[in-house]
Amino acid sequence: MQHVKLLINIILLVLGLSVSYAARDIVTLGRTAIAPAPAAAGPAASIDNSGIGAVSGLGVNWGTVTYHPLPTDIVVQLLKDNNIKKLKLFDVEHEILTALTGSDIEVMVTVTNGQLADMGSFDVAKEWVKVNLTRYLELKGGVNIAYVAVGNEPFLKDYNGTFNNVTFPALKNIQNALNAANYSHIKATIPINADVYYSPDNNPVPSAGVWREDIADLMDQIVAFYHNNSAPFTVNIYPFLSLYYGKGKFPVDYAFFDGNSNPLMDNGAAYTNVLDANYDTLVTVLNKAGYKNMPIIVGEIGWPTDGDINANATLAQKFYKGLVKNLATKKGTPLRPNDQMNVYLFGLIDEEGKSILPGDFERHWGIFTYDGQPKFELDITGKGGKNTLVGAKDVKYLSKQWCVVSPSVTNKTALEANAGYACKNADCTSLGNGSSCSNLDYLGQASYAFNSYYQNFIQQSASCHFDGLATITTEDPSSRSCKFDVQLAPAPVPVAPAPEPAPAPVPDSAAGPSNSPSGSPSDQSAKSESVRSAFLSIATIVSLLFGLSAFHSL
């Protein structure tokens, strides 16, 4: 019995570690205001699951923390080709929303954490709605904006209460501003991390779920406001992170949907996967608060494909297949049987610009690669058969050439120094232990680092020198498990060549992602907005030093 209790305790305690790394912080208030739209339809009482294509209830997060973004029109066509009907964004981005005009894709836009304090003013909130929503709602054909995310996981413990006093006022003002503008059908909701609720150590089962003590009163106020406005509760849940932070103690099968794990029993209910257990812990808390029928959205859920021993395409495919099957059968959870779960996959495309403080997997959450190609076969319709993901079309690349170690070079010390330099200014997360390229020898690792740097700086000839240790080749050095990328072709702008890199590692002040500064404990467990801002500032400085436009998308 003791070992069963230990297993249960590990499972449910790890639920609170399902942190998200999707925080964005981009100011959007400075946009041109447009007059309000005419009165819209009244509030919807529940989440709309209608539509064809992807299985009902399935959406995706589109993150844009990348130095070499796919053209927006190509990504929007990718969404359409895969019949993805729900999209979550981490800001209000003009180019994306304009490209979505006239589509039937339902959109959630975001008020960033950095804007929450400003939204404490109702006048500012009204202006935000006017500037950031009205212009898109009134375009010919319009944009189907259904939700406004107010912040992103603002109550993470690692934020030390930074946003505790500003989030609820922002939520109220945004929703009230929507109502005042006759957009009451658009609902404001806070994407919240799963650490806002938990089950106590002495009874670690979903039916014992309670709010976290430090924000219990605040959460009661928030859910009451949701109820009064027919808005959903949004929570981010990451089974992969439960496994990752479980450090070998979390049962692997419990992260998936095969039913192979020893079930967690709770008042006769059997929980065979961590998603259902986490979800029903929240359901319990909402039930106790008096809101048994409150809609729930899983704002982020996913599985990375590189950067860790458990982050690979095989396990990601297994996870997503199980998840889609669950959605298609509408079996629900023990506390909400036969109920359609609504989820947004995290994410759509890999983002190589993200901080790797949480782990090397951080840049590999996409179901599509950096160039919009599917990483594995997946039927997101839930209908079975031969349906599978469709890749991006009309993608433009740089020349088919790579930067590798020159023949006959054997100076390991010099190679390691130059490779280290390259990796501080490019993405080498596929070289880590358990990653897709971890089996390369030191020559292969150096070649991978050189090429990553070379592609990141748009194949400038001076970016493939490395003290004379590197050469450009037209022979693809990729292997079955380790892919050497060719970067996307940028928009045609003048680019100055990069200077020849020094063999010594760069100073910390100009370091790449692996040396991003940490300003708080949150930097060690979650991708906080302060870390992202610091990282992007470093990337911009590096860009300027090299005289390149590779970082123009930041």
- The catalytic residues are 153, 300
Give the Cα separation of 543 and 523 in Å (integer).
23
Q: If DSSP states are collapsed to H, E and C, what string results for 329-390? A: HCCECCCCECCCCEEEECCCECCCCCCCCCCHHHHCCCCECCCCCECCCCCCCCCCCCCCCC
Residues 6+ apart with CB under 8 A from 466: 418, 421, 422, 450, 501, 503
Give one DSSP letter per residue of 120-165, joined into a string: GSHHHHHHHHIIIIIHHHTSTT--EEEEEEESSSTT-GGGTTTTTT
Residue 121 CA from chain centroid, whole number: 29
- To the nearest 10 degrees (0 to 180), the angle between helices 216-228 and 167-180 is 10
Cα–Cα distance between 81 and 75 in angstroms, integer?
Answer: 10
Cα–Cα dist 327/85, whole Å: 15
Residue 48 corresponds to which amino acid? D
The answer to whether 392 touches 75, Cβ cutoff 8 Å, is yes
- Helix, strand or coil, per DSSP, at residue 298: strand
Closest CA to 436 of 420, 452, 421, 425: 452
Amino acid at 421: Y
CA 240/CA 233 separation, integer angstroms: 22
DSSP at 503: S
Judging by DSSP bridges, how do beta strands 86-89 and 58-62 pair with one another? parallel
